[in-house]
């Protein structure tokens, strides 16, 4: 047992990270297709977000039914969450699974079918939501059920491909990245199906499930995939093992135990059971354990590598993403307290928080991984200048956005607490909404640059047919 | 199962993770959901007519719930919107639209606070005709601009400057239904 553990410690510190000599071209192609489609959805979702943002300080902008605020807003959230963020992370995760298992992806063909289903669902979501066909304002589950079925099928197929790839690994150990990634593929189907089945959602039951669903979609899907990808990409790019393997595993288990308990903190002071709300607040504090275990662990991996960060165009994205993880999660914990909730709930502060987390954490990690991993696979690099432009536009943009919208939220909350006429909260927030659009324009600009960079990284046409998984297996 | 065992067994990792999450799902979502679902509607709740029910569909189609809550908390700042919301207020709502953002005011009791059908119709046609600082979308596609009102038309008295010159604004069926829904949003009277 002791020897076994020692073997794990030494070997796991450098799992699959010592580059295998060849990369299966079929795996590379399918990964790139995920990234490319995700990027297309990023542009669509950004457009929707910008329209929604502009409408708040210019209500007569694009006064058409299909583009009214109440339809564009869910289009924005669903496209950036289920189209862009999910697809880019799944593409990266499938690649990481294959690399850390040192085998080609189990079935690139199935992964490609899943991508098709995924695109179909997101496209259907855009059309139906803009047409006003939805299930009401139930955040991130506004899609009608047939689209949800298509999406669920895509997730299950991708999960199966990831599982079979790990099962076929040539290393004995399951590298920690794969814990997070396989976990994500377990949690999302359970979460998604639970959120759509109606049997326990009458009356406020619906709201209990809403809190559970919209919260866990973040921590049990996006966070899992982002950490899984980070635990591969960061050590790989730095050329050194992760600071502490055990902390990575601790983060995995504590996230699983604490995160699902805290969804009700979105409905504090509601008639929902008080124990549910209190449990949510308590474990929101507990979440500091996995959050800082993950952030600290990955940031400490950088220790003494500031030179590498300066030289790499991918690593700065990771640094921002990890800091974004720690800060936005801490912010979330503070927002869960009842006192903070009085001032901040229902305000734009929540919108700032969700952007800090999804964009400042998940999306920056995704960009770091795309820039860090894709060029070494396709053999094509984007211009470092263009990546720099992307980085700074995105960073200044998100900071402007989050600061503006958080100030708007505080102003709203203060106006309410002061007992002023409701419209005061609108007029006080409105200048900040203009600033939010300015931040959003910078972010949108960075996305266009990113799309051009993705195009620059496209793989060369591969002539040789993809070798079968057996033939291409590389010795460990 | 030893720690080392999990490290080398992908089946065990997946099984443990899935089972733990499934159990937490039952405890935190399904079972509390069942409990809430069992709460009967308040006897004092007025039934919603078919017009108001159609209006609720319009409310959902337009995503009104992304900016308007229907959820009065037991906090001083929420007093203007009605009494604190109770479990049984939502028993018949599918889905209940408590909401997470309050860009516009809460609507849980708007039928009591603003009972004028005319006000609501003008407000839906052009919110800035009645609240100049409003940022709410104008739902003009639920209204017809006519040269002359026909018999049975509900004419909306939109103030000058907010409608095309020389036209009368007539409320369409969806506008009337939506207003019917808004007026139906009245908190049931309950003894404290």
The CATH number assigned to the domain holding A91 equals 1.20.210.10
Rounded average pLDDT over A200-210: 95
- Contact (CB, 8 A) for A107 and A161: yes
At residue A11, the pLDDT reads 37
More confident residue, A235 or A21: A235
Residue A10 has pLDDT above 50, yes or no: no
Give the separation between CA B9 and CA A174, rounded to whole angstroms: 7
Residue at A472 is within a domain: no
A278 touches B: beta carbon within 8 Å: no
Q: Which of A388-392, A458-462, B1-5, B161-165 has the lowest mean pLDDT?
A: B1-5
Contact call for A186 and B30, based on CB within 8 A:
no
Burial of B57 (0-12, 13-18, 19+ CB in 10 A): middle
Task: Note the pLDDT tens digit of each residue in A216-269.
Answer: 999 999 999 999 999 999 999 998 999 999 999 999 999 999 999 988 888 888
pLDDT recorded at residue A461 = 67
Domain locations along chain B: 3-37, 50-184
Inside any domain, residue A249: yes
B 61-100 residues with CB below 8 A of A?
Answer: 61-67, 69, 71, 73-77, 80, 84-100
Q: Which residues in chain B are contacts of A201 at CB distance < 8 A?
A: 33, 37, 95
B30 chain-A contacts, CB cut-off 8 A: 194, 200
Chain A / chain B CB contacts < 8 angstroms: 240
**pLDDT greater than 90 at residue A54:** yes
Q: Which residues of A221-246 are buried (b: 16+ CB within 10 A; e: fewer)?
A: bbbbbbbbbbbbbbbbbbebebbbbe
Q: What are the C-alpha distances in Å from B12 to residues A103, A167, B8, B16?
A: 21, 12, 9, 6
Residue A426 and residue B36: Cβ atoms within 8 Å?
Answer: no
> In B, residues 119-148, which contact A (CB 8 Å cutoff)?
127-128, 131, 133-141
Give SS3 for A63: coil
The mean of the pLDDT values for chain B is 93
Q: How far is CA A378 from CA A95, A217, A375, A448, B117, in A?
A: 13, 32, 5, 21, 63
A347 touches chain B (CB under 8 A): yes
Q: What is the pLDDT of residue A263?
A: 83
User: Quick check: is A469 in a domain?
Assistant: no
Q: What is the mean pLDDT of residues A436-445?
A: 98
Residue A215 predicted with pLDDT over 80: yes
* Nearest-by-Cβ selection for A190 from B25, B39, B128: B25
Asked if pLDDT for residue B43 goes beyond 80, the answer is no
Which stretch of A273-277, A282-286, A323-327, A393-397 has the lowest confidence by average pLDDT? A273-277
CA distance A162 to A397: 35
Cβ–Cβ contact A266 with B under 8 A: yes
What is the C-alpha R_g of chain A?
22
User: By the 8 A CB rule, do B125 and B158 touch?
Assistant: yes
Report if residue A196 sits inside a domain.
Answer: yes
Q: Give residue B192's pLDDT.
A: 60
The total of structural domains in chain A comes to: 1
* Per-residue pLDDT, A266: 81
Q: Would you place residue B4 in the very low, low, confident or very high pLDDT band (cuts 50, 70, 90)? A: low
| Token pair for A351 | 């919108």
3-state helix, strand, coil in chain A (%, to 5): 75, 0, 25
Q: Report the C-alpha gap between A95 and A365 in whole angstroms.
A: 15
Confirm whether A195 is domain-assigned.
Answer: yes
Q: How far apart are CA A430 and CA A432, in angstroms?
A: 5
Query: Is A471 inside any structural domain?
Result: no
Which stretches does DSSP call E strand in chain B? 143-146, 155-156, 168-171
Q: Is A344 on the interface with B (CB under 8 A)?
A: no
* pLDDT tier, A411 (very low <50, low <70, confident <90, very high otherwise): very high
Q: Say if the Cβ atoms of B4 and A135 lie within 8 Å.
A: no
Judge whether A281 and A338 are in contact, CB under 8 Å. yes
C-alpha distances (whole Å) from B184 to each of A42, A317, B41 are 40, 51, 16
Each residue's pLDDT tens digit, B51-99: 999 999 999 999 999 999 999 999 999 999 999 999 889 999 999 999 9
Q: Is the pLDDT of residue A475 over 60?
A: no
> Coil, strand or helix: which one is B186?
coil
Instruction: Give me the sheet containing B155-156, strands edge to edge.
Output: B143-146, B168-171, B155-156
- Cα A9 → chain centroid: 29
Give yes or no for a contact between A360 and A307, defined as CB atoms under 8 angstroms apart: no
From A5, A209, A348, residue closest to B4, measured CB to CB: A5
Q: What is the pLDDT of residues B133-154, one digit of tens each?
A: 999 999 999 999 999 999 999 9
Q: Pick one of 3.90.1150.10, 1.10.760.10, 3.10.20.30, 1.10.510.10 as the CATH number of B50-184.
A: 1.10.760.10
A191 lies in which domain range? 20-460
Give the closest residue to A110 by CA, choosing from A86, A90, A83: A90
According to DSSP, the residues that pair with B170 across neighbouring strands are B144, B155
What is the number of residues in chain A? 476
**pLDDT exceeds 80 at position A13:** no
Q: pLDDT digits over A91-134, tens only?
A: 999 999 999 999 999 999 999 999 999 999 999 999 999 999 99
Q: Per the CB < 8 Å rule, is A167 touching B10?
A: yes
**pLDDT value, residue A5:** 41
Question: Who among A207, A271, A279 is closest to B86 (CB)?
Answer: A271
The alpha carbon dihedral of A112, A113, A116, A117 has a sign of negative
Whether the pLDDT of residue A426 is over 50: the answer is: yes
pLDDT tens column, A343-362: 999 999 999 999 999 999 99
Segment B181-191 mean pLDDT: 91
Q: How confident is the model at residue A9 (pLDDT cuts 50, 70, 90)?
A: very low
Mean pLDDT of chain A: 91
Q: Looking at the domain assignment, is residue A3 inside a domain?
A: no
pLDDT of residue A21: 45
Which percentage of chain B shows pLDDT scores above 70?
Answer: 96
The mean pLDDT value for A174-196 works out to 97
Residue A305, pLDDT > 60, answer: yes
Say what the alpha-carbon torsion angle A275, A186, A158, B5 is, to the nearest 10 degrees.
Answer: 150
Beta bridge partners of B144: B170
Q: Which tokens in the block code for residue A325?
A: 């993880």
Q: Shortest Cα distance from B150 to chain A (angstroms)? A: 25
Backbone φ, ψ for residue B171 (5° rounding) = -75, 130
- In chain B, positions 169-188, which contact chain A (CB-CB < 8 Å)? none
* pLDDT reading at A6 higher than 60: no
The pLDDT value recorded for residue A161 is 98
Label residue A428 by pLDDT band (50, 70, 90).
very high
Evaluate whether residue A12 is within a structural domain: no
User: Is the per-residue pLDDT at A476 higher than 80?
Assistant: no
Selection from A188, A202, A247, A200 nearest residue A9 by Cα: A247
Q: Given an 8 Å threshold on Cβ–Cβ distance, is B137 in contact with A183?
A: no
Taking residues A370-394, report their average pLDDT: 94
Q: Is-above-0.90 flag for pTM?
A: yes
């Amino acid at each position: 047992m002791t020897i076994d553990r020692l073997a794990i410690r030494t070997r796991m510190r450098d799992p699959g990270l010592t580059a295998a000599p060849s990369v299966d071209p079929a795996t590379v192609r399918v990964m790139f297709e995920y990234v490319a489609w995700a990027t297309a959805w990023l542009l669509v979702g950004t457009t929707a977000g910008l329209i929604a943002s502009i409408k708040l300080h210019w209500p007569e902008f694009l006064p058409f039914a299909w583009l009214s605020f109440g339809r564009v807003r869910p289009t924005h959230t669903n496209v950036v969450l289920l189209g862009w963020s999910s697809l880019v992370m799944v593409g990266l995760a499938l690649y990481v699974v294959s690399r850390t298992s040192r085998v080609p992806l189990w079935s690139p063909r199935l992964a490609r079918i899943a991508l098709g289903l995924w695109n179909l669902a997101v496209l259907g979501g855009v059309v139906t939501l803009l047409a006003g066909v939805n299930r009401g304002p139930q955040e991130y589950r506004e899609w009608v059920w047939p689209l949800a079925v298509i999406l669920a099928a895509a997730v299950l197929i991708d999960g199966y491909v990831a599982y079979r790839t790990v099962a076929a690994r040539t290393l004995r150990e399951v590298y920690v990245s794969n814990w997070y990634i396989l976990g994500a593929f377990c949690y999302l189907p359970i979460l998604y199906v639970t959120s759509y089945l109606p049997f326990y959602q009458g009356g406020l039951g619906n709201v209990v499930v809403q809190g559970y669903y919209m919260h866990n979609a973040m921590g049990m899907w996006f966070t899992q995939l982002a950490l899984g990808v980070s635990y591969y990409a960061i050590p790989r790019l730095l050329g050194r093992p992760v600071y502490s393997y055990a902390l990575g595993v601790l983060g995995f288990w504590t996230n699983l135990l604490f995160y699902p308990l805290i969804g009700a903190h979105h409905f504090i002071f509601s008639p929902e059971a008080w124990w549910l709300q209190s449990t949510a607040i308590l474990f929101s504090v507990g979440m500091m354990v996995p959050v800082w275990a993950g952030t600290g662990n990955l940031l400490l991996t950088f220790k003494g590598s500031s030179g590498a960060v300066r030289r790499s165009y991918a690593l700065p994205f990771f640094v921002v993403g990890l800091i974004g993880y720690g800060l936005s999660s801490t912010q979330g914990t503070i927002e869960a307290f009842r006192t903070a909730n009085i001032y901040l709930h229902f305000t734009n502060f929540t919108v700032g928080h969700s952007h800090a987390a999804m964009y400042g954490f998940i999306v920056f990690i995704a960009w770091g991984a795309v820039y860090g991993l894709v060029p070494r696979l396709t053999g094509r690099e984007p211009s470092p200048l263009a990546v720099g432009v992307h980085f700074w536009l995105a960073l200044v943009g998100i900071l402007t956005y989050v600061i503006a919208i958080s100030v708007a939220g505080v102003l709203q909350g203060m106006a309410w607490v002061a007992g002023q006429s409701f419209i005061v909260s609108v007029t006080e927030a409105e200048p900040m909404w203009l600033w939010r659009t300015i931040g959003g324009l910078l972010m949108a600009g960075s996305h266009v640059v990113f799309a051009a960079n993705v195009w620059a990284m496209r793989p060369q046409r591969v002539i040789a047919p993809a070798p079968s998984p057996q033939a291409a297996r590389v010795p460990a | 199962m030893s720690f080392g065992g999990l490290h080398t067994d992908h089946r065990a990792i997946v099984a443990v993770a899935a089972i733990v999450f499934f159990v937490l799902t039952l405890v935190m979502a399904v079972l509390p959901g069942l409990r809430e679902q069992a709460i009967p509607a308040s006897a004092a709740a007025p039934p919603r007519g078919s017009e108001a029910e159609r209006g609720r569909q319009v409310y959902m189609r337009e995503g009104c719930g992304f900016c308007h809550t229907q959820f009065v908390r037991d906090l001083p700042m929420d007093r203007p919107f009605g009494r604190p919301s109770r479990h049984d207020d939502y028993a018949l709502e599918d889905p209940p639209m408590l909401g997470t953002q309050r860009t516009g005011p809460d609507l849980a009791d708007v039928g009591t606070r603003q009972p004028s059908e005319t006000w609501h119709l003008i407000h839906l046609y052009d919110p800035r005709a009645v609240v100049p600082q409003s940022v709410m979308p104008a739902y003009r596609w639920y209204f017809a601009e006519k040269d002359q009102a026909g018999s049975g038309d509900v004419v909306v008295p939109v103030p000058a400057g907010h409608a095309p010159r020389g036209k009368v604004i007539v409320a369409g069926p969806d506008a009337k239904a939506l207003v019917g829904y808004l007026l139906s949003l009245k908190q049931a009277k309950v003894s404290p």
